[in-house]
Amino acid sequence: MSLRNRSMAACGNGIGPCAARGVIAGALLCSLGIAAAPADPGEPATRPGLAVDRPARPNIVLILADDLGWTDLSCSGSRYYETPNIDRLRREGMYFPQFYVSQNCAPTRACIMTGQYAPRTGVYTVTNLDRGPAAARKMNVPRNVTNLPRDRATVADVLKSAGYATGMFGKWHLGEGQEYQPSARGFDEAIVSAGRHFNFRTNPGVDVPEGAYLADFLTDRAVEFIEKHKGRPFFLYLPHFAVHVPLEAKERWIEHFKAKSPADGHKNPTYAAMIASLDESIGRVMGKLDELKLSDRTVVIFLSDNGGVGGYAAAGVDAGEITDNRPLRSGKGSLYEGGIRVPFVVKYPPMIEPGTTCDTPGIHVDLLPTLVELAGGRLPKQPLDGASLVPLLKDAKASIDRDTLYYHFPGYLQGQPGSWRTTPVGVIRQGDFKLMEFYEDGRLELYNLKDDPSEKTNLADTMPEKARALRDRLAAWRQDLKAEMPTLKSVEKRAAK
């Protein structure tokens, strides 16, 4: 079976390939340029053909996995991992097989929270942009921002101003100081977790039962939050640490997967067990919504923050891979498709036809405008780079006013030979074409993702005009956003003489 067919066949379901309240909070929201909460319009909107009335302000549950790859679900291609609950979410909702995020953790979170591409916040990566041995770096790089700038409204600020109860339980990664914590960024309730999957730490420190598994602990907080706020619109952000290393899982699940045969590079029983616990979390959240009869008035969104850790061996890199993103090329830390394309599912019965697939590309910065439109809120007064996906949720074949996606990564996730982590690069996707511009030497790689989803055939030399047009558009975008560029060390030395 070809790699492409593997993903198609494995689906087999006929739906395609896969705290401060009051005055202080009010002043803060005002300073962020968010209008006061609009009055609840009250009138439910009903879409012809769908039996359920649409609430004016649906609840929103946003579940983010950590390092889960594009084929790491049974419904997105895996014949080894088991995800019955996420599969159900897909059957009952809309799946986007071409959804994009950043190459690693922090920038995706910044983009989701602000609706802005990385050059606007300066959050390009975790820690610094000059990783790896200095001798391996040909370029000097800009400073990376690790605290999400305070002058930016977050999606939680916006939904809170629209009257939502807001809660966040899990990995934050957008600043360590108290003024950067989620409780200071629009979340009424927040518990930030860090460290490991067992014996983890929380901020604020809370009592954790002996032997608690982090995915279960976070899910407990999530269902408590839903129960507590069942009578009013709520926004629940559940950013799991699963399935990020360290690989730690519950023994009964590990034993279950040890008994299975590996398939298509999916082979690690502990990683599979972590995915199973993540899937159980989605099942418990959906179960609580069902129990409280909230499922028809709740938008549930599931995605991952970057590609899976795997797919490097094909490039001759021995990185101790955990999973495999085939048919996509490479994995986390790379801007090839395996690093930046992830599963994305949305369920919202009054709006979305069950079991649909939308082939229009989407990206992390689309989430803020999408959620604000769903909530009937008002967009913050800051430049926004995404487009609302609501027209697509209503009709998968609809078009949206955006045909181009951009990336700018001006640094080194490492960069020495044999590393799977990227060097400075810019990426533009327009229509079926994707251009990568490697800043060290200006090298271009052009792929037609429709014909060549595995990015095997570089068309830059055979389609030079297309490559040039995309490179120029990428450059214009960088200029528009005043994106900081890395500079060649050799050029700087010459200039100093």
333/349 with CB nearer Ca ion = 333
How many other C-beta atoms lie within 10 A of the C-beta of residue 431?
Answer: 12
87/305 with CB nearer Ca ion = 305
Tokens of 289: 């919504």
| Position 72 contacts Ca ion (CB under 5 A) | no
77/107 with CB nearer Ca ion = 107
Shortest distance in whole angstroms from residue 340 CB to Ca ion: 11
Q: Rounded to 5 degrees, what are φ and ψ at 236? A: -110, 120
Shortest distance in whole angstroms from residue 101 CB to Ca ion: 9
Residue nearest to Ca ion (CB): 105
Q: Give catalytic residues, as residue numbers.
A: 105, 173
Q: Which residues contact 275 (CB under 8 A, 6 or more apart)?
A: 68, 72, 73, 81, 82, 83, 242, 243
Could you tell me how many residues of this chain bind Ca ion (CB under 5 A)? 5
Shortest distance in whole angstroms from residue 127 CB to Ca ion: 14
Judged by CB under 5 A, which of 306, 325, 388, 419 binds Ca ion?
Answer: 306
Shortest distance in whole angstroms from residue 309 CB to Ca ion: 9
Shortest distance in whole angstroms from residue 290 CB to Ca ion: 29
Stretch that binds Ca ion, among 79-87, 289-297, 303-311, 359-367 (CB under 5 A): 303-311
| Position 105 contacts Ca ion (CB under 5 A) | yes
Tokens of 463: 């389609």
243/460 with CB nearer Ca ion = 243
Judged by CB under 5 A, which of 305, 324, 337, 366 binds Ca ion?
Answer: 305
160/171 with CB nearer Ca ion = 171
Rounded alpha-carbon distances, angstroms, from residue 451 to 4, 273, 311, 336, 456: 11, 34, 20, 15, 10
Stretch that binds Ca ion, among 168-176, 301-309, 343-351, 455-463 (CB under 5 A): 301-309
| Position 67 contacts Ca ion (CB under 5 A) | yes
244/347 with CB nearer Ca ion = 244
Spatial distance between the Cα atoms of 15 and 90, rounded to a whole number of angstroms: 9
H helices of 307-351, in order, are 337-340
Judged by CB under 5 A, which of 29, 37, 59, 66 binds Ca ion?
Answer: 66
Spatial distance between the Cα atoms of 389 and 411, rounded to a whole number of angstroms: 30
Shortest distance in whole angstroms from residue 119 CB to Ca ion: 20
Rounded alpha-carbon distances, angstroms, from residue 67 to 12, 109, 135: 25, 12, 29
Contact 266, 79 (CB under 8 A): yes
Stretch that binds Ca ion, among 100-108, 276-284, 406-414, 428-436 (CB under 5 A): 100-108
The closest of 188, 236, 260 to 20, measured between CA atoms, is: 188
Three-point CA angle 104, 105, 109, nearest 5°: 125
Tokens of 140: 């000097």
Contacts with Ca ion, residue ranges (CB under 5 A): 66-67, 105, 305-306
